[in-house]
A and B are shown apart, each in its own frame.
Chain A
């Protein structure tokens, strides 16, 4: 089953006080997931931890939704196990315009997320401004590309257009096909086409506030 799923959380768009309220995070984190915080380095604030786990669950939902149109996002049912945050993780500000997975291959936050009998591997990066996450069935993430971009303004239509343009640039560079296009499937996931012919590529978009991102698997 070829698929991909990603997510972005813009940390300046979250409500820190609310995030730290147990009434809030206990809606989507199990006690076992909350306990994972004890194993994460002190550099990771609790609100970042909460949104990291949310982001993993959302990315996993997108991954599975591609082949299960009726799937409803029930975050409590996506169970995160074995979250590994590098002990030497240094959280930097994101000063650039974009980042993609060609830039480096290491120092990711990794882990596992399970939904029913499906088990997915996680890679995530944490900046001061955002969390980006991608999930994949294969823990090596072979042929998986992912990235995010800072855009000039918010607004759903603008975010969608920017995410599409950003993904097309990367897809064209990887595939060496000039006539690529992206349309939406009936159930709402993006489909990559060469001319009018759909390609066997799984693509996912994410956006939050002034960040947009993609992941795709060839």
Chain B
């Protein structure tokens, strides 16, 4: 799965947690989950758990801390999907 495909799937993961659907549609790798998408920090763990289910991966503590913007989320998911890349 390439980064664009991961980003499109990631929109589905983030959708329940942001009220700004227009912003979500236009996200890019620099989009910050809290500052830009106004996602409440209390939902950050939900996003990690949902991403694990969506991509059938396991995201550990060290990886989870990097998931504060879309680009970092894609990095973590891509690395888990294809560890040798």
List A residues at the B interface (Cβ < 8 Å).
9, 13-15, 18, 23-24, 27-28, 51, 54, 58, 72-74, 76-77, 155-156, 188, 207-208
Question: What is the interface of chain B, defined by CB distance below 8 A to chain A?
Answer: 19-20, 35, 38, 40-42, 44-46, 48-49, 61, 64-66, 68
Verify A208–B42 contact, CB threshold 8 A.
Answer: yes
Q: Is the CB of A18 within 8 A of B42?
A: no
Q: Are B68 and A24 in contact (CB under 8 A)?
A: no
Question: Knowing A58-B41, A156-B19, A156-B38 touch, does A76 contact B65 (C-beta < 8 A)?
Answer: yes
Chain B residues whose C-beta falls within 8 Å of the C-beta of A73 in the assembled complex: 41, 44, 65, 68
Known contacts being A72-B68, A76-B61, is A28 close to B45, with CB within 8 Å?
yes
The list of the 10 closest CB pairs from A to B, nearest first, reads: A74-B65, A156-B38, A76-B61, A27-B45, A24-B49, A58-B41, A72-B68, A27-B64, A208-B40, A72-B65
B42 close to A54 (CB less than 8 A): yes
Q: Closest Cβ of chain A: how far from B36's Cβ, in Å?
A: 11
Closest-by-CB residue of B relative to A61 is B41
Distance (Å) between the CB of B78 and the closest chain A CB? 19
6 more A-B residue pairs beyond the given contacts A15-B46, A24-B45, A208-B42, with a C-beta to C-beta distance below 8 A: A23-B49, A24-B49, A27-B48, A27-B64, A73-B68, A76-B64
A27 touches B19 (CB 8 A): no
Chain A residues lying within 8 Å of B40, measured Cβ to Cβ, are 207-208
Contacts of A156 in B (CB 8 A): 19-20, 38
Q: Are A155 and B65 also in contact (CB < 8 A) when A9-B42, A18-B49 are?
A: no
Q: Which residues of the partner chain B approach A51 to less than 8 Å between Cβ atoms?
A: 42
B64 partner residues in chain A, CB cutoff 8 A:
27, 74, 76
Tell me whether A155 and B19 are in contact (CB under 8 A): yes
- A74 contact set on B, CB distance < 8 A: 61, 64-65
Q: How far is the CA of A74 from the CA of B65 in the complex (A)?
A: 5
14 contacts between A and B (CB under 8 A): A14-B42, A23-B49, A24-B45, A27-B45, A27-B61, A28-B45, A51-B42, A58-B41, A72-B65, A73-B65, A155-B19, A156-B19, A156-B20, A156-B38
